[in-house]
Amino acid sequence: MVRINENFLKLKAGYLFPEIARRVSAFADANPDADVIKLGIGDVTEPLPAAVTAAMHTAVDELSDRDSFHGYGPEQGYAFLREPIAEHDYKARGVNVSADEIFISDGSKCDTGNILDILGEGNRVAITDPVYPVYVDTNVMVGNTGTANEAGQFANLTYLPVTEANNFVADLPSDPVDVIYLCYPNNPTGTVATRETLQNWVNYARENGSLILFDAAYEAFISDDSIPHSIFEIDGARECAIEFRSFSKNVGFTGVRCAFTVVPKELSVTASCGTEVSLHQLWNRRQSTKFNGASYVVQKGAAAAYTEEGREQVRGLIDFYMTNARLLREGLESLGVRVFGGVNAPYVWLGTPDGLSSWDFFDRLLEKGHLVGTPGSGFGAAGEGYFRLSAFNSRKNVEAALERFKSAVG
Ligand code: MLT
């Protein structure tokens, strides 16, 4: 008889974004004339940078010629992409990460879930709350948690609230944890971590033998020079951290799919037999077995984002979305809404007005303004009473949304 992975049965609701899409589609069916503006999922709207599409066209042409055709590529990614990443994302910032510590993939969502393949059962896992739901759900799937309570919090997970009460800076866990997920700039709150905060985490991890899984998918949106872009800017992080990065939001690759994970060679864990095991080698083994690399065309496109022309065009995209974030922030502040984030991150985090619950505010916005955002409680119990807006949209939609907020909020 076939057995299923019964951990999946602990996941009560659907994944957050499909659940929102389901509700919006029910609303649209009932209100076919409503022009709904979506500021929910952080999905890019602007076309790819011209340097990127030109490189992808050339790559397609290469594949149509026997002499320049490519079949399987290296599972870890092509050097033509790993090298400019090491150069521009790390060396240029004085950070020591070599090209062969960079593993190219088809997305950070997959990588943050897949990394659990190389970690053992029974790790005590800490997450900030609210949090990107993938970290929680993937730990539920592998059996690192018990069942969820009424508030949706899973037994055996350590939740570290980040709210206005602690200025969105989580306290270090009071009981030791083995694995810590950190995401900065933060999804969903749009807040950032200072060097000091990250140093505290690295010190904690080294003292407690923990591993930090650092999601830096939004680092390109940092404008404040004092804020670290990488966990590897912090002393000691190479011994205790793995970093995830993505081309989804800065280069506009949500549909194209390309990302990378950095696993330093120093990073090792003691196996139950007492042997020191390199996580770099384990991840390499995992990727070589389960992954055949991101597509050649996509990697060529990603590499073009590091050319001079590409970098300038990516900068233009980031500036465009961050202007949206500023407009949302300022517009909502002028309506008296409590607004956080949106300065070094493309997400604006609101305190819901009139003491509404996150989902009640979602309903009010949809009904009164035909606007969609993401209920804070969908990111965790401590997100209740908050709401996330994504700055990834056209300027026209952001401006129209701000007008509509006046009737829904004011
Ligand atoms: C989000 O809206 O939180 C992101 O788009 C989700 C993701 O990157 O997977």
Task: State residue 408's pLDDT score.
Answer: 84
Does one domain contain both 86 and 225? yes
Quote the ligand 1 centre to 90 CA distance (angstroms): 24
Task: State residue 12's pLDDT score.
Answer: 74
- Among 245, 277, 307, give the residue marking a domain's end: 307
Average pLDDT over residues 236-243: 98
Statement: residue 51 has pLDDT above 90: yes
**pLDDT range class, residue 410, cuts 50, 70, 90:** low
Domain count, the chain: 2
Does one domain contain both 261 and 339? no
The whole-angstrom distance between residue 368's C-alpha and the CA centroid of its chain comes to 30
Statement: residue 338 has pLDDT above 90: yes
Statement: residue 119 has pLDDT above 80: yes
Among the listed ranges 22-36, 106-120, 195-209, 287-301, which one has the minimum average pLDDT value?
22-36
Average pLDDT over residues 291-315: 98
- Among 307, 329, 345, give the residue marking a domain's end: 307
**pLDDT range class, residue 13, cuts 50, 70, 90:** low
Statement: residue 335 has pLDDT above 90: yes
**pLDDT range class, residue 271, cuts 50, 70, 90:** very high
Angle between helix axes 308-334 and 395-409 (nearest 10 degrees) is 20
Task: State residue 170's pLDDT score.
Answer: 96
Question: Is the beta carbon of 187 within 6 A of some atom in ligand 1?
Answer: yes
Does one domain contain both 286 and 317? no
Does one domain contain both 299 and 205? yes
CATH of the domain at 375: 3.90.1150.10
**pLDDT range class, residue 21, cuts 50, 70, 90:** confident
Rounded Cα distance between 1 and 202, Å, is: 46
Q: Please identify, by atom number, the ligand 1 atom nearest to the C-alpha of residue 41.
A: 2
The domain of 40 spans 7-47+309-409
Q: Please identify, by atom number, the ligand 1 atom nearest to the C-alpha of residue 188.
A: 3
Q: Please identify, by atom number, the ligand 1 atom nearest to the C-alpha of residue 132.
A: 3
CATH of the domain at 208: 3.40.640.10
Task: State residue 300's pLDDT score.
Answer: 98
**pLDDT range class, residue 173, cuts 50, 70, 90:** very high
Quote the ligand 1 centre to 276 CA distance (angstroms): 35
Angle between helix axes 50-63 and 296-304 (nearest 10 degrees) is 150
Q: What percent of the chain has pLDDT over 90?
A: 94
**pLDDT range class, residue 245, cuts 50, 70, 90:** very high
Quote the ligand 1 centre to 370 CA distance (angstroms): 21
Question: Is the beta carbon of 42 within 6 A of some atom in ligand 1?
Answer: yes
Atom 9 in ligand 1: which residue has the minimum CA distance? 109
Rounded Cα distance between 158 and 154, Å, is: 9
**Which residues pair with residue 212 across a beta bridge?**
180, 241
Query: What beta strand segments (E) does 124-275 contain?
Result: 125-129, 157-161, 179-183, 211-215, 241-246, 259-262, 268-270
Q: Please identify, by atom number, the ligand 1 atom nearest to the C-alpha of residue 17.
A: 2
Does one domain contain both 18 and 123? no
Does one domain contain both 350 and 289? no
Statement: residue 110 has pLDDT above 90: yes
Q: pLDDT digits over 273-295, tens only?
A: 999 999 999 999 999 999 999 99
- Among 270, 291, 307, give the residue marking a domain's end: 307
Decide: 393 and 324 in contact? Cβ < 8 Å: yes
Does one domain contain both 116 and 258? yes
Question: Is the beta carbon of 41 within 6 A of some atom in ligand 1?
Answer: yes
Q: Please identify, by atom number, the ligand 1 atom nearest to the C-alpha of residue 217.
A: 8
Does one domain contain both 259 and 358? no
Does one domain contain both 268 and 235? yes
Question: Is the beta carbon of 109 within 6 A of some atom in ligand 1?
Answer: yes
Quote the ligand 1 centre to 186 CA distance (angstroms): 11
Would 1 be classed as within a structural domain?
A: no
Would 2 be classed as within a structural domain?
A: no
Would 140 be classed as within a structural domain?
A: yes
Does one domain contain both 172 and 278? yes
Task: State residue 20's pLDDT score.
Answer: 87
Would 91 be classed as within a structural domain?
A: yes
Average pLDDT over residues 361-370: 94
Task: State residue 14's pLDDT score.
Answer: 66
Rounded Cα distance between 55 and 300, Å, is: 6
Atom 4 in ligand 1: which residue has the minimum CA distance? 42
Quote the ligand 1 centre to 134 CA distance (angstroms): 9
Average pLDDT over residues 135-152: 94
With the most atoms of ligand 1 within 8 angstroms of its CB, the residue from 43, 131, 187 to mutate is: 187
Does one domain contain both 70 and 142? yes
Statement: residue 121 has pLDDT above 70: yes
Does one domain contain both 289 and 379? no
